[in-house]
Amino acid sequence: MNILFSELQYNFLEHLRFQKRYSNHTIISYENDLTAFFNFIGSNYTESNIESIKASYIRSWLASMKEADMASRSLNRKISSLRSFFKYLLKKEIVKVNPVTAIISPKMPKRLPQFVEEKDTKNLFTTISFADGFKGLTEKLLLEILYNTGMRKAELISLCEHQIDVSNSNVKVLGKGNKERLIPISKTLIFNIKYYIAEKRKLFDKQENNVLLISEKGKILDPKYVYNVAKKYLAEVTTIHKKSPHILRHSFATHLMNNGADLNAVKELLGHSSLAATQIYTHNTIEKLKDVYKKAHPKA
């Protein structure tokens, strides 16, 4: 890397560190991306002036990484690093043109949410053995609520007894931005919640903030504990890579969509602010239809 490029990079990184207050981790990522780019320029071109760098040089650099099978996500991050760097140079009037504006970022592959198959969620609550006593009751009800309501882990942890409306069979959830939503729940889940509360009363006189689910010590559940419970029991019924409380939320939404639920209704149940966030679940439905078509249609 020539001295000019090195000095410009150093000044930019200092700007990120002291003006933008970026984390060390982020700054290191920028540094690695810029160093790789300038090393490529030094190895393939004779340019020593930052203003001489063209969009075609950047495309060549990206093409070399694409040929090395670098993922689109990583390529986009490198483009973002260069874009920020040249914006900084423009602002400082070191360059007159930002060559990155002519670069089109590669399309990101759509990542469909993982979910547990319906038969596997049925096994989770009918064939799996939970621990005896209050610990087992808590772990099973924790999973039942996550799957039956699709609520987030944080929403579950803060869920209080008064949010359960037994007479109307629903639960009031306080979501992101303190936005409330009502989620209907089954008579079976109502029964299990009432039983859990009764058993809890036998063991504890007072609980923190009247939360529904508590630990064996009568304390609010720790997020790591909830994660570990989900991971432990999901590992017994599914081989999917991710095993977390959020997977049960994905499963809740996917199973609703697969069984004909209205997209807007699923949006409200999940507490999404926009329909776009919910539409990812339609892709799983489409994939299921494709699978049915391939298996059933004689010309497939």
Q: Specify whether the CB–CB gap between 130 and 181 falls below 8 A.
A: no
Using the structure block, give the residue that is written with the tokens 């720790």: 222
Q: Specify whether the CB–CB gap between 156 and 171 falls below 8 A.
A: no
Q: Is 249 a catalytic residue?
A: yes
Q: Is 246 a catalytic residue?
A: yes
Q: Is 272 a catalytic residue?
A: yes
**Active-site position among 30, 147, 196, 281:** 281
**Active-site position among 15, 83, 231, 246:** 246
* Helical residues (DSSP H) of the chain, grouped into ranges: 3-18, 24-44, 55-67, 72-91, 118-126, 133-149, 153-157, 187-203, 223-234, 245-258, 263-270, 275-278, 280-296
**Rounded to an integer, what distance in angstroms lies between the CA atom of residue 233 and that of residue 39?**
49
Using the structure block, give the residue that is written with the tokens 């260069």: 82
**Active-site position among 73, 119, 135, 176:** 176
Q: Which amino acid is at 126?
A: T
**Rounded to an integer, what distance in angstroms lies between the CA atom of residue 257 and that of residue 282?**
7
**Active-site position among 140, 152, 200, 255:** 152
Q: Specify whether the CB–CB gap between 181 and 271 falls below 8 A.
A: yes
What b/e string do you get for 130-141 counting C-beta neighbours within 10 Å, with b at 16 or more? Answer: beeebeebbbbb
**Active-site position among 249, 250, 255, 267:** 249
**Rounded to an integer, what distance in angstroms lies between the CA atom of residue 135 and that of residue 129?**
12
Among 193, 206, 109, 99, CA closest to 148: 193
Q: Is 66 a catalytic residue?
A: no
Active site residues: 152, 176, 246, 249, 272, 281
